[in-house]
Amino acid sequence: MKNYLYSLRFLFSIHIAGLLLLSLFRLILFFRGTANLGDESGEYLLQSEAFLRGLWFDNVVACYILLLPLAVASISAWFGYYGARLYRGLTIFMGIMYGITFAISASDIPYFEYFFKHLNASIFNWMGYGETTLKMMFGEPAYRWPIFFFVVAVAIFSVFLRRMRKLTVASFEKNRFRSWKSVGGIVVLTALTLWACMFGIRGRMGYNPIRVSAAYYCNNTFLNQLGINPTFNLLRSTLESTKKENKSLRLMNEQEAIENVREFLAIEESFPDISPIARTINADTSFVRKNVVLVLMESMSGKFMERYGDKRGLTPFLDSLAGQATCFDRFYSAGTHTNHGLYATLYGYPAMMKKNLMKGAVIPFYTGLPRILQENGYRTLFFMTHESQYDNMNGFLRSNGYDEIYAQENYPSEKVVNSFGVQDDFLYEYAIPVLTERSASVQPFFATLLSISNHPPYIIPPYFKPHSKETEEQIVEYADWSLRKFMDEASRQPWYENTIFVFLADHGKLVGSPKSDMPLTYHHIPLIIYEPGQSPCKSEVLGGQIDVGPTILGMLGISYINNMFGIDLFRQNRSCILFTSDDAVGCMDRDYFYIYRPGDEQEWLFKVQDGEEGSAVTNDTIRNKLRNYAFSVLQTAQSIIDNEETGKYKGYVPK
């Protein structure tokens, strides 16, 4: 047992030494990037949190390195083997692995300074230019310092490894008697240490393992990224790049697609230094400093509402509100997943098939609705029911215009009912006092609330009494009841009269029998915009989630550069709307619905009757028009994303 403890001392001493040196690389990056601190330059406690989060990520990488040596040393200990050759092999293995990790950390310093992002899978594009890359690394004086730091770190670590190995081997007692009690203790300790190592690799106890999002904790982009371990980031982005769903779309000629989209959006003058679709929007009214509350309702298909034909009385509040507000009756979700709905609604880009564009290890920057409102003096808040790391939301949203994020970590543990966190009524109840507190400032607020209850596993709280018998119907009733409760409480707040309320679903749901390979009930969703005291209005304008941002900005009278695919539904009309569903592309005009499956190149065309799929038809002219629209929008979006043109300008990084 004593020898095994010496073995553990050897391994964990190396582990700690590795963490210290990785922290040293982070400290070097910090001092070389102090110009990026901005208003946080004197906030030492805030800065220190970046290092603590960095240690967290470093430990994940270090535990990956530790796992194999720990398993080998432990199994050898079961048989009483502590040979010098074994520990020489373990030393060499850990030396090589940490050497690679230090090399990545050193290389990351100049890379980050140049690109303002950590090493990622894009570096493998340089493999074909090996000679040029080496000349750049060794020819640029600024890159020589990181090489020097790497050499010093490897030298220090090598000396430490050698001394620890000699000390450990010398400490082992030869031919020591081993009792069954001792062997049992080794087995128990092995289980505990391996469990601790596996937990370190996972990074956290929550529903999701650690993601890049965990490094994000404040509104300073540099400090948020400082905590990310470069090796972790490189491995994550490389794994993501190999997934089939993350491959770039190739549907048509890129330049032809861009020209088509510019025509669809009636773009005559644009900003090519930003993107091919960036255009100026000049408000035709004065700036109205109203608060905005945007509620994204989980899976709230329009087919649940009496307004669209349902007779079960599931959504009495939404139906009542739609009759008092501006209701867009021909409105569609961008995709069939929450991340698609968030991405399209907040940032004005279409869902790109299976891709989750919020989840990458390298977080892109967008000038969508939150950022534009933030730049016009708004305080931006996001409330979700679940863990903030889910779908990388914390990192993505903080990087793209949100000042405050409220998630499961902020709520009492007894309010968490399942893996998706708290229920809708508690989320709304929690948000009200936060918004009331923010309203005391002269600064208007933009709050986004993302509900969850209408998502399995369904939990009906005991204090809610539905009239339906089926659980899937009861949960819709509960979601509607929670919205009524929220609006009743909001109406008693001082900020209510000066607030625009926007209600829409993140996506729909299959209601009834499917009528096509891409059921429209998954995409037809309500868009209800309510201002206290307004006259009701029914709109038959064709629209989608990508139009929400421009429409709200138009209501507020804000002039801006629109780098989104959406339009202001109060001032413009669209001929078609595009949406996707993992492996299928859908496109509609007022009379027809086109479906295309890229995987097997199948396509269908349906007549639209009462907002639903009607009979299948053959009309090459209509089919080609809708296909050209869908392909053009998706290909242009892919081009802009690939060329990093989604921000205020190419290479834009918010400070």
| Residues assigned a catalytic role | 338
Q: What's the CA gap between 365 and 653, in Å, rounded? A: 7
Q: Does residue 422 sit in helix, strand or coil?
A: coil
Distance CA 165, CA 172 (A): 11
Does the annotation place 455 within a ligand binding site? yes
Which tokens belong to 83? 């040979």
- Is residue 480 marked as binding? no
Q: What is the CA radius of gyration of the chain?
A: 28
Angstrom distance (rounded) from CA 353 to CA 411: 33
386 is in an annotated binding site: no
Query: How far is residue 391's CA from residue 388's CA, in Å, rounded to a whole number?
Result: 8
Strand (E) positions, 241-298? 279-281, 291-297
CB of 506 within 8 A of CB of 296? yes
Q: Give me the torsion for CA of 291, 297, 301, 303, rounded to 10°.
A: -70
Separation between Cα atoms, residue 623 and residue 637, nearest integer Å: 21
58 marked among binding-site residues: no
For the four alpha carbons of 632, 634, 635 and 640, in that order, the dihedral sign comes to positive
DSSP 637: H
Cα separation of 345 and 546, whole Å?
5
Coil/strand/helix, residue 23: helix
Neighbouring residues of 552: CB distance < 8 A, sequence distance ≥ 6: 292, 294, 369, 500, 502
Tokens of 274: 């930003």
Q: How far is CA 213 from CA 105, 210, 227, 397, in A?
A: 19, 8, 10, 9
Closest CA to 570 of 589, 590, 588, 554: 554
- Quick one: tokens of 473? 């119907």
Phi, psi of 173 (to 5 degrees): -90, 130
Burial class (CB in 10 A: 0-12, 13-18, 19+), 147: middle
> Is residue 598 a contact partner of residue 627, using CB atoms and an 8 Å limit?
no
Residue 230 and residue 123: Cα distance in Å, rounded?
12
Q: What tokens were used for 371?
A: 């950022």
Which residue, 333, 303, 325, is CA-closest to 501? 325
Is 507 labeled as ligand-binding? Answer: yes
CA distances from 485 to 51, 307, 410 (A): 42, 21, 21
Q: Output the six-digit token pair for 350.
A: 């279409």
| Residue 269, number of CB atoms within 10 A of its CB | 7
Specify the DSSP class assigned to residue 655: -
Element at 576 (helix H, strand E):
none
**Could you tell me which residues are annotated as the binding site for Mn(2+)?**
298, 338, 506-507
**Could you tell me which residues are annotated as the binding site for substrate?**
455
**Could you tell me which residues are annotated as the binding site?**
298, 338, 455, 506-507
